[in-house]
Amino acid sequence: MDDDLVILTRCFDLLAWLVPKSETFPKVHRYTVVQRLVDSALDFQELLFRARKATASSRRQRLQEADGKLDQLRLYLRLAHHWQWLTDGQYEHVSRQVAELGRLLGGWVRQEARRPG
């Protein structure tokens, strides 16, 4: 179960970077796109916590939901870059973080799929 601790730590790192950065995004979008961006990241973290504590069948469901939240996060980050709220370097940095989260999540999903039940 050490792998789930790694993903939780990496998700915390993403949130620690993303939430303060989102405060610099245009105020006119703060309660629409920016809120959904931050909510997606926070929801992803919460689903990981729930998956860690869940029974096997429920855990798989939580991990699938987390995967969907990660897809949403990718979309909102891509929009933020498209609208130039994130520089190329910032987008590259956060994209690397999200890609790592995706790999870690995929590993967790595969590990759960191998478990009986």
Q: Do 73 and 46 form a contact (C-beta atoms < 8 A)?
A: no
Q: Where are the domains of the chain?
A: 2-114
CATH number of this structure's domain 2-114: 1.20.1440.60
CA distance linking residue 113 with residue 115, whole number of Å: 5
pLDDT in tens, 22-77: 999 999 998 899 999 999 999 999 999 999 999 988 999 999 999 999 999 999 99
CA distance linking residue 39 with residue 45, whole number of Å: 10
72 is written with which tokens?
A: 């949403």
pTM: 0.93
- What is the share, in percent, of the chain residues with pLDDT greater than 70? 97
N-terminal to C-terminal alpha carbon distance within the chain? 17
